C-alpha cells in the first residue's frame, strides 16, 4: 500500500534511495502486499515493561512535568497553522548504555493540550486520508501508517514538532552518553541535518533561523546542542550530544 499524497518537493524525487534499504529474512520472503513482522520475545516484553514503568518519551519542550533522571536537548518549532509531519537526517554513533539507562535521538510531533497530548515519533499525514505515514529515505520507501482514528488530537494535524536527543540515568544517577558521546563543538559529534516539517499547505518547509525555534538543554554540563541556520548543503541543522556522567542536574526553568 502507498499513500495517495506526497508533500510537495518530494513527489518528484527519484526512488534511487530505496535500493539502499535492504531487509534480509532467514526464510522465505513475505507475500506481495505484506511486510515482515519481528516475532516478540520474552526479553522484548520484559524490556518494554521496564521502559513503560521507568521512562516517558513525552516531549519536555511542551510539558512542565519533569521525570527524574531524564534529560533532553531539543529544537522545538511551532506555527500558527497545523503541522502535518516532520523529518530529518539523524546520526548516532553506537552509544554504550547499561540495562537501566536509555539514550536516543528522535522526533516528537505533538498535538492537543499540554496536560493530555497526542504525540508520534515520526511521520507525515496523507492529505487525502489523514493517516500518519512513516517513510524512509529520500526515495520514500513507505513502511506503513497509523490510522487517523487512533488519535484524538493529531487526526487533523499537529501543533508543534521537536527534534533532539533524550537520555535516562540509571539508579545511581549516572547519565548515559548521548549521540556520539561528544559535545556539539566536537567535529565528530552527532547531528540532525535537514530538519524539515510539512506545513499547513502540505509543502515541505524548514525552520528559517535560530529566532524561529526554541532550544532546550536540560543539563549543559552533560549534554548540549548547537543550532545552525539553513545552508544549501545540510539544510537547517544542529549538532548535539555529550558524555553524560554523574550529577547531570536538571537546569531548565519551568
Q: What is the pLDDT along the chain (254 residues), one digit of tens a residue?
A: 788 877 876 544 433 333 444 555 566 666 666 666 667 777 666 655 555 555 454 444 444 444 567 788 899 999 889 999 999 999 878 888 988 888 999 999 998 887 788 888 888 899 999 999 988 776 568 888 899 999 988 988 999 999 999 998 888 889 999 999 999 999 999 999 999 999 999 999 999 889 999 999 988 899 999 999 999 999 999 999 999 998 876 554 33
pLDDT for res 2: 81
Cα 110 to Cα 76: distance, rounded to the nearest angstrom: 10
Sign of the alpha-carbon torsion through 125, 198, 123, 75: negative
Q: Enter the DSSP assignment of 176.
A: P
Of the candidates 232, 235, 223, the residue with the CA atom closest to the CA atom of residue 190: 223
pLDDT for res 21: 47
pLDDT for res 92: 79
Backbone angles phi, psi at 147, to 5 degrees: -60, 145
Amino acid at each position: 500500500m502507498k499513500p495517495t499524497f506526497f508533500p510537495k518537493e518530494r513527489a518528484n524525487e527519484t526512488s534511487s534511495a530505496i535500493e539502499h534499504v535492504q531487509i534480509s529474512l532467514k526464510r522465505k520472503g513475505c507475500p506481495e502486499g505484506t511486510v515482515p513482522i519481528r516475532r516478540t520475545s520474552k526479553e522484548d516484553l520484559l524490556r518494554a515493561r521496564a521502559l513503560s514503568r521507568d521512562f516517558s518519551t513525552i516531549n519536555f519542550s511542551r510539558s512542565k512535568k519533569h521525570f527524574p533522571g531524564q534529560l533532553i536537548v531539543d529544537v522545538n518549532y511551532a506555527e500558527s497553522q497545523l503541522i502535518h509531519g516532520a523529518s530529518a537526517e539523524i546520526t548516532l554513533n553506537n552509544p554504550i548504555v547499561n540495562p537501566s539507562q536509555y539514550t536516543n535521538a528522535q522526533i516528537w510531533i505533538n498535538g492537543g493540550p499540554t496536560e493530555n497530548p497526542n504525540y508520534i515519533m515520526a511521520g507525515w499525514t496523507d492529505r487525502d486520508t489523514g493517516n500518519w505515514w512513516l517513510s524512509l529515505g529520500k526515495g520514500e520507501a513507505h513502511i506503513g501508517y497509523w490510522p487517523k482514528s487512533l488519535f484524538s488530537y493529531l487526526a487533523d494535524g499537529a501543533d508543534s514538532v521537536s527534534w533532539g536527543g533524550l537520555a535516562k540515568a540509571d539508579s545511581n544517577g549516572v547519565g548515559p552518553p548521548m549521540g556520539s558521546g561528544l559535545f556539539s563543538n566536537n567535529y565528530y559529534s552527532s547531528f540532525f541535518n535537514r530538519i524539515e516539517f510539512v506545513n499547513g499547505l502540505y509543502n515541505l518547509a524548514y525552520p528559517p533561523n535560530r529566532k524561529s525555534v526554541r532550544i532546550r538543554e536540560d543539563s549543559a554540563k552533560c549534554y548540549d546542542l548547537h543550532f545552525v541556520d539553513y545552508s544549501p548543503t545540510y539544510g537547517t541543522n544542529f549538532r548535539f550530544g555529550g558524555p553524560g556522567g554523574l550529577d547531570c542536574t536538571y537546569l531548565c526553568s519551568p
